[in-house]
A = this chain, B = another copy of it.
Amino acid sequence: MPTPPARNAILLISCPDQPGLVSAVADFIRRNSGNILDLEQHVDSELGAFFMRVEWELEGFGLSDGDLASLFQADVAAPLDMRWQLHYSDRRPRVAIFATREGHCLYDLLSRHQAGELDIDIPLIVGNREDLRGAADRFGIPFHHFPITRENKARQEEAEIALLEEHDIDTIVLARYMQILSDGFAARYPNQIINIHHSFLPAFAGARPYHQAYQRGVKVIGATSHYVTAELDEGPIIAQDVIPVSHRESVADFIRHGKDLEKVVLARAVWAHARRKVLVHENKTIVFS
């Protein structure tokens, strides 16, 4: 039985690049007796932008949570024009998984969660169909059915949001959820809704990408996990992967191989998100390692 992991703080920072940024942050942590576990930075020299993720132990740290935020803002962030997010490792993302009929991504996420691979809580699952209620039941997670029609969509989304808020959900994972969220819904959860698209975006956006890929005769197929924005299939890409195919593969083979890609790529994105390793900047991601 592993002991509960130590409580850590994680800062994600972006700002205009300039000398001394790493030192300023590291010094702040150290002079408050924080032990840095991991520090990774990235400079986009084209944009002149600086990005950083730093994680440190809170055991023995000299500041309370409240003081940490306010002092960091006053002493470091404000003078250096930083935008930042502060996370605590014991406040795991609370995730609602949305699914429809294809269960491979849902089962994969639930299995990983069960095995302790993902640092998330999954208070509930939403289906626009009943098909995957059984999967939720197997893992003992409440399943909520919200059938969506053109007529009831606005009302159902309102009900979904009420449910999400009631359960303090901060992250939504669309695990092959075959309904387009309204712009309003998407805008409400910026960089908090993770989708898996079953193609190598931007190729084959939209419907039936494997059929499109087969039709085009490509020799490689892929899957893409991205944050959802108002522009369909245009949000920041978190993870992608591909496999080679040939004329020997049918559309059914594309779909079969594609499912393996989809679940692995989606899980990688959820893992990185849950570990607070993803920063979004101008519709692109920095995914710290």
Residues of A within 8 A of B (CB): 19-20, 22-23, 26-27, 30, 36-39, 41-46, 102-104, 107-108, 111-112, 114-115, 117, 135, 138-139, 200-204, 216-220, 222, 236-242, 244, 246-251, 256, 259-260, 264, 267-268, 271, 283-287, 289
Contacts and interface: CB of A to CB of B under 8 A. Distances in A.
Contacts of A46: 250-251
B108 A284 contact: no
Q: How many copies does the complex hold?
A: 4
Nearest to A51: B247
Contacts of A251: 46
Contacts of A236: 217
Contacts of A104: 111-112, 115, 117
A240 B242 CA distance: 11
The dominant DSSP class at the A interface is mixed
A238 to B, nearest CB: 8
Nearest to A202: B203
17 contacts: A20-B26, A22-B23, A22-B26, A38-B43, A42-B248, A45-B250, A103-B114, A104-B112, A107-B111, A107-B114, A138-B138, A200-B220, A201-B203, A202-B204, A218-B237, A222-B242, A260-B264
Contacts of A200: 200, 203, 220
B42 A19 contact: no
Nearest to A26: B23
**A20, A242, A284, most chain B CB atoms within 10 A:** A242
A255 to B, nearest CB: 10
Given A111-B107, A264-B260, A19 B23 contact: no
Ranked nearest first, the 3 interchain pairs of A and B with the lowest CB-CB distance are A217-B284, A107-B111, A203-B203
B42 A247 contact: yes
